[in-house]
Amino acid sequence: MSGSPGRGRKVVVFDYGFGNIRSAQRAVARTGAEVEITRDLDTALNADGLLVPGVGAFAACMNGLRQARGDWVVGRRLAGGRPVLGICVGMQILFARGIEHGVASEGLDEWPGTVGPLRADIVPHMGWNTVRPPADSRLFAGIAPGERFYFVHSYAVHDWELPAHHAAQSPAKVTWSTHGEPFVAAVENGPLWATQFHPEKSGDAGARLITNWIETL
């Protein structure tokens, strides 16, 4: 990767107790951006970009995010058109609700839809898989078709429910993958982007993807 596409940009990895924050920090730092791990609300609100990681259970992540007032930070940033990137469960909690073991939990409801169990012969979906981004994706710009990304999850969004135009944002660009059945692998929707896979663990393709996000800040 030539140059420092992130130079002069500040990114916060929001630390609410869930997620591979050190891996995310290193991945962003490689772009040349200044990156800080914090749960300080003013710092998170005013950074050029906010990265929301997440691992584990949907309900636990949502509880942790609310306790750290991360739900307020995400809402305020998006209301002002300021970029947010969710990763793994950090993507799932952006939807209206999650269902685990038959119990429904409320998400951030930035997008309608439900996170539910993967219906596949082997669960969790753990390892490398290809994705199908739209032709005009900015998130996957410069990434060759057929590149693989690293997934670790047992739940996913199977149906995209957002209307073509929603909350004055540009139409969403949805990337799909398949494990047993199709599921949402990534979304680009105005200032809100997210991936079900872990770009910080996805080698050169993941590094390119993070750089693409950094370059929009």
Catalytic amino acids? 88, 198, 200
The DSSP letter of residue 97 is E
User: 5 in the Ramachandran plot: left (φ > 0), alpha (ψ -120 to 50) or beta?
Assistant: alpha
Q: Which residue has the tokens 């998006």?
A: 78
Please report, for residues 56, 110, 128, 129, the alpha-carbon distance to residue 181 in angstroms, rounded to integers and kept in the order given: 22, 24, 16, 13
Task: Classify the C-alpha dihedral 203-197-175-66 as positive or negative.
Answer: negative
Is 48 in contact with 11 (CB distance < 8 Å)? yes
